[in-house]
Amino acid sequence: MPITEILEHNADKYGSDVCLVEINPEVKEVRRVTWKEYDLMEPNPTTHYRREITWSVFDEKANRFANMLLSRGVVKGDKVAILLMNCLEWLPIYFGILKTGALAVPLNFRYSSDEIEYCLKLADVDVLVFGPEFIGRVEEIADKISKNRLLFYVGENCPSFAEDYNSQTANSSSKRPNVMLFDDDDAAIYFSSGTTGFPKAILHAHRALVHSCKVEQAHHGQTRDDVFLCIPPLYHTGAKMHWFGSLLSGGKAVLLKGTKPDAIFKAISEEKCTIVWLLVPWAQDILEAIDNGSIRLKDYKLDQWRLMHIGAQPVPPSLIKKWKEIFPNHDYDTNYGLSESIGPGAVHLGIENIHKVGAIGKAGYGWETKIVNEKGEPVDRGEVGELCLKGPGVMKCYYHDKKATEEVLSGDWLFTGDMAVEDEDGFIMLVDRKKDVIISGGENLYPVQIEDFIRTNDAVHDVAVIGLPDKRLGEIAAAIVELKENMILTEDEIMEFCMALPKYKRPHKIIFADIPRNPTGKIEKPKLRQIYCGVSLVEAQNKG
C-alpha cells in the first residue's frame, strides 16, 4: 500500500475533521481563520497567528498540486525538492508530489546556496518548491538551477525567476490523479544531516514510509483523540515520521513555529496537545524556565498531556529524572533511528521501561538489531560494538553513491556507525558515534558517557566532549562547557567535579563556550574540531 492511500482514507472517512494547525507565536494574532477563509483572502500567511485545514482540504490541496505537476510534464520517477519552513502548505505539497509517482526531496532549511545547488544535482531534481525565507539563496543560483528545472514559489510577492505556487494550483483539478503506485516504488530522497561532510542522498520506497507509520503508532498508541505537537523541521525524517502516527490514526497535529518554552506550553494548553516530541535542548530550556519561574505550570492547561518523548541524540538520564520529578504522570519514551532507517523507532525504550532510562531500548516494531565487532561478528552482552539494524524501513541505497552504500549495507543489515552495548536484560545503551570515539593512550573514550556525567552538574546547560591532539597520548578529552544563564563555574571546579569519573575518562581540558547544534539537536562536533583542533573543516568532518 502506498502512503498516499492513508491520506485518501482519512479524507474519505474524516473529511471535516481538522488535521493540521499552524501556529506562529512570533506574529500578533488578528483572528483565527480556516484554510477555506484563507483562500478567499489576499494571500498573506504571515499576518495570522493560527491557520488550520481539514483532512478533505489537505487531500484536495495535494491533488491540485499533483495535477498541476502532471500538466507541466512531471512523470513517475521525477524528483521534486521542497525548501520550506514548517507551514500548512508543507505536507500537502509533499503528498502531492507522491501522488504523481515522483519522489519528494526535502531540503534542510539551513543549506547555503552552494549546498542547495549540490543537493539538487546529486538527487537529479526536476522541480524546486521554495518559500520566502529562501529567496536570496535561490536567487544566487537561479541562473544555474533554472535551466532544466521548474521553480515554484510559495508565498506572496513571487520573485521574477520563479512561478507562483498559488496561482498555478488554483485552477488545477482537485480530483485524485490516476497514477498507479506500488509498495516498492521509489518515494523519497532524504539527505543525511551533514555532520560528516556534504550530505548523502538517501533513497526510500513507499513501503518504508508506510512502515514508519505503523512503527510510530505501535509505540505510542495514537488515536483520533490524540493531538500531536510537532516542533522540529518537517524536512527531517524524525519530525515527519512521528507525525505519521497521527496520519495513520486520523488524529490532529499542531505545527509550532517556535521553540521557546512559553510558546510550547501555550500551544500545548490552547490546542489540548496530548503528545509532545522534544529535542534535548528544548527540554533543558523548559526545565530551566520552570526553575527560574519564567514558566508557571498553573498558568497552563496540561492535564491532557500524556506522553513526552525524545530522540535524535543521546538523552542525559539526569534530564529525564528531573522531568519525572516535575511531571510524574507523563509517560516517557525515547526513540532511536537514522534517516537511513526512515527516522525514529528502529529502537525504542517503551513507555513501560522508565526504570531503564539511559538505554535507547530494544528493537522497535518490525525491526531487528545486532551489535558486531570490526569483523562483523556479534559481540557478547556487555561488550561494545557497532549497532546494526534490519527491517522494512532500511533505505534502498545512497543515491548515486555505490561505494558509500556498500560501506553501510551488508545484505539486509544497515551498519549505523553508532557504538552500543547490550545490558543483561537485553536493553541497548548507545555509547557514541564510531567516528567520535577518542583513543587516548590506547584507551577508548566515549564522549557521550563523559558528557552525561558533566551534565549532572546543576550549573551546566550543555556540554560537548571532543578529542584534542596530544603528542604523548595521541588524543586527550576536552570538554566544551556551556553554563546556564547567570551561573558561574571555574575550570578547577569542573575538574574537581569530574574526580568521580575513572581517571582515564576525566577531561584534560575545559573550554567555556556555546555548543553548536543542528536543527535536529545534534552537536556539530566537526565545527568544534575545526575551532579547537586547528584542522580544516574537511579534516574535522572526516573524523566525524
Strand order from edge to edge, sheet including 275-278: 33-34, 50-54, 18-23, 252-256, 227-230, 275-278, 307-311, 331-338, 343-348, 362-363
pLDDT for the residue numbered 34: 43
CA distance 485 to 367: 42
pLDDT for the residue numbered 540: 43
Strand pairing category for 474-483 and 460-470? antiparallel
Give the domain ranges of the chain.
Answer: 4-10+44-206, 437-543
pLDDT for the residue numbered 284: 86
Q: Sort 394 into a burial class: Cβ within 10 Å, 0-12 / 13-18 / 19+.
A: buried
The C-alpha cell at 204 is 526510500
Residue 69 has φ and ψ, to the nearest 5°, of -60, -45
Q: How many other CB atoms sit within 10 Å of the CB of residue 11? A: 22
- C-alpha distances (whole Å) from 459 to each of 116, 449, 454, 488, 500 are 39, 18, 10, 7, 17
The rounded Cα 97 to chain-centroid distance in angstroms is 21
Q: Sort 317 into a burial class: Cβ within 10 Å, 0-12 / 13-18 / 19+.
A: middle
CA distance 324 to 261: 17
- Residue count of the chain, please give it: 544
Which residues lie across from 332 on neighbouring strands? Answer: 308
CATH number at 4-10+44-206? 3.40.50.12780
The domain made up of 437-543 has a fold known as GMP Synthetase; Chain A, domain 3 (3.30.300)
Same fold, 4-10+44-206 and 437-543: no
CA distance 448 to 463: 10
Angle between helices 4-13 and 90-99 (to 10 degrees): 120
Q: Secondary structure of 181-218 in the HEC alphabet?
A: CCCCCEEEEEECCCCCCCCCEEEEEHHHHHHHHHHHHH
CA distance 483 to 139: 39
Which residues lie across from 476 on neighbouring strands? Answer: 468
Angle among Cα 408, 414, 418 to the nearest 5 degrees reads 80
**Is there a contact between 194 and 211 (Cβ–Cβ < 8 Å)?**
no
Q: Which stretches within 28-54 are classed as H helix?
A: 35-39
Buried b (16+ CB within 10 A) or exposed e, 133-166: ebbebbeebbeebeeebbbbbbbeebbeebebbe
- C-alpha distances (whole Å) from 498 to each of 451, 483, 510, 523 are 11, 16, 11, 21
Q: How many other CB atoms sit within 10 Å of the CB of residue 398? A: 22
Low-confidence ranges of the chain (pLDDT < 50): 28-48, 194-196, 535-544
Q: Is the pTM of this model over 0.85?
A: no
What are the strands, taking DSSP E only, across 224-321? 227-230, 252-256, 275-278, 307-311
pLDDT for the residue numbered 46: 44
Residue 5 has φ and ψ, to the nearest 5°, of -65, -30
pLDDT for the residue numbered 442: 60
Per DSSP, the three-state class of 16 is: coil
Which residues lie across from 429 on neighbouring strands? Answer: 421
